[in-house]
Structure 1
Amino acid sequence: MPRSRTPLSPERIVVAAVEVADRSGLAAVSMRNVGKALGVEAMSLYHHVRDKEALLDALVEWVFGGIDLPEPDEPWRPAMYRRAASARDRLAAHPWAIGLIESRSAPGPALLRHHDAVLGSLRRGGFSVADAAHAFSVIDAYVFGFVLTEVNLPFDSPAEVEEIAEGMMATMPEGDYPHLVELITSHALRPGYDHRAEFGFGLDLILDGLARLVEA
């Protein structure tokens, strides 16, 4: 095993753990595998990270540390859009993150700062405490759900969409599913269609509803 020449640090260990998770999935994140990625023995990591549980908590912090936060003087709607889009990008780039976030019970400073900034933006925008909680919940439910769909889609390009759609239609008895066929032929197969572009449309619908809520 080649030895690492750069001194170990908690930050280097977390970055290596991210690389292991991106390459092989969250189940592969162990002190041994992260040490191997760094070119050191696993025992060396314990001088900087207490144990695997602490490492997993640090991964959650790393995820939230890369999400754009609302600015104190930013109107709530563009702040929520920008934050949601940033969260979607971060989570889609690291598909293991959603399951990890939902499984942890020891929030760190980055997560707490993120949640406080989102709630603060909504409260400054006129939301009551209860409505701010509702808004935060529905936006993140949409973001998380969209990412889970996005990362599990069986296609990555318009050509693959066309191949899958045509295969689906070939199995449908003629006339049995007219609305589904209409959707595929006039929407999913149109030039330039990209399912990922649906994210902004859905997010705007949610923000429109929240705007009506706070205005009322």
Structure 2
Amino acid sequence: MSKQEAPAARTRLNRERVLQTAVGLADAEGAEQVSMRNLAAELGVVPMALYKHVSSKEELLDGMVDVIIGEIEPPPVDAPWKDAVRERVLSARRVLQRHRWARRVLETRTNKTPGVLAYMDSFIGLFLAAGFSVDLTHHVMHAIGSRMWGFTQELFEDPPSEEVREFGEAELAMMEEMAKRFPNIMRIATASAHESESVVGSGCDDQFEFEFALDLLLDRIEQLHEQGWSFRTARSR
């Protein structure tokens, strides 16, 4: 009589495994598919088992945000502040490009999770350690805004490619009318093609445009720092 094979040991469930699996599920199927039921099925457990580790869907999403923020690489040690900030931002952008669902989830979070707070604290610290005043750093953070997370809100939507679909008569007429009424917008919005793989979310916020705007912003911040800028003196002009 042959020996019966012992059942494979089940991997112990913990919060880290739950969150990592949720991130993988979102990567594969989108954040909208991340439910307690679907996640439990992915883990091979009953849904109630998850509640020992995450108390709700909102806490699950907060935890997923902390997981991806943990993937943002720290800047090189002793790098000049501008290089350090630039690399931190571009690393955040690379993370969002790996996790296409993450931007929308980030935008919906109302609570500052420990991971979010730690990232913001370290980001602010790059300026303070470089000798920036608290005053200037405050305004710098307002100016940088969502760029610290690797994205900005898109201004223009890319027109659909002719290779993907053909325009109907109504759409062509609407575009012609737009071109007549708002010629400058149409000229800019259709000025150049964009590489779809470089876009975070929809629209024309491709990698070149993101870095172009980031560099302009950092150059001006550097000038203000060197000039000893303060809110009080700026308001008094």
TM-score of the pair, normalised by structure 2: 0.68
Structure 1: state its 5+ residue gaps: none
* Partner SS for 1:73: coil
Cα displacement (A) at 1:79: 0.8
Aligned: 1:133 with 2:138: yes
Change in Cα spacing, 1:124 to 1:32, as seen in structure 2 (3 Å) is same
Change in Cα spacing, 1:46 to 1:146, as seen in structure 2 (3 Å) is closer
Amino acid in structure 2 at the alignment position of 1:8: L
Determine the C-alpha separation between the residues in 2 that align with 1:171 and 1:53. Answer: 41
Q: How many residues align?
A: 205
Cα displacement (A) at 1:201: 0.8
1:72-105 deviations in whole A, cap 9, x for unaligned?
5221101111011111222233343234334231
Residue equivalent to 2:235: none
Residue equivalent to 2:222: 211
Cα displacement (A) at 1:149: 3.4
Determine the C-alpha separation between the residues in 1 that align with 2:20 and 2:162. Answer: 33
Amino acid in structure 2 at the alignment position of 1:206: L
Which shifted more, 204-213 or 56-65?
Answer: 56-65
Cα displacement (A) at 1:63: 1.9
Residue equivalent to 1:46: 51
* Partner SS for 2:52: coil
Contact 1:70 1:118 in 2 (8 A): no
Aligned: 1:32 with 2:37: yes
Aligned-residue sequence identity (percent) comes to 35
Change in Cα spacing, 1:51 to 1:208, as seen in structure 2 (3 Å) is same
Of structures 1 and 2, the larger Rg is shown by 2
Contact 2:89 2:150 in 1 (8 A): no
* Partner SS for 1:149: coil
Determine the C-alpha separation between the residues in 2 that align with 1:12 and 1:154. Answer: 41
1:43-86 deviations in whole A, cap 9, x for unaligned?
22233334433322211211210112335522110111101111
Determine the C-alpha separation between the residues in 1 that align with 2:183 and 2:140. Answer: 36
Matches within 5 A, 1:53-64: 53-64=58-69
Contact 1:169 1:181 in 2 (8 A): no
Residue equivalent to 1:94: 99
Contact 1:57 1:107 in 2 (8 A): yes
Change in Cα spacing, 1:10 to 1:144, as seen in structure 2 (3 Å) is closer
TM-score of the pair, normalised by structure 1: 0.73
CA-based RMSD of the aligned residues comes to: 3.8
Q: 2:80 aligns with which of 54, 70, 75?
A: 75
Matches within 5 A, 1:1-216: 5-71=10-76, 73-102=78-107, 103-108=109-114, 110-142=115-147, 146=151, 148-149=153-154, 171-172=175-176, 176=180, 179=184, 183=188, 187-188=191-192, 196=206, 197-216=208-227
Which shifted more, 138-147 or 6-15?
Answer: 138-147
1:153-193 deviations in whole A, cap 9, x for unaligned?
566x9976xx89xx9799437x84665676578x5159xxx
Cα displacement (A) at 1:15: 1.6
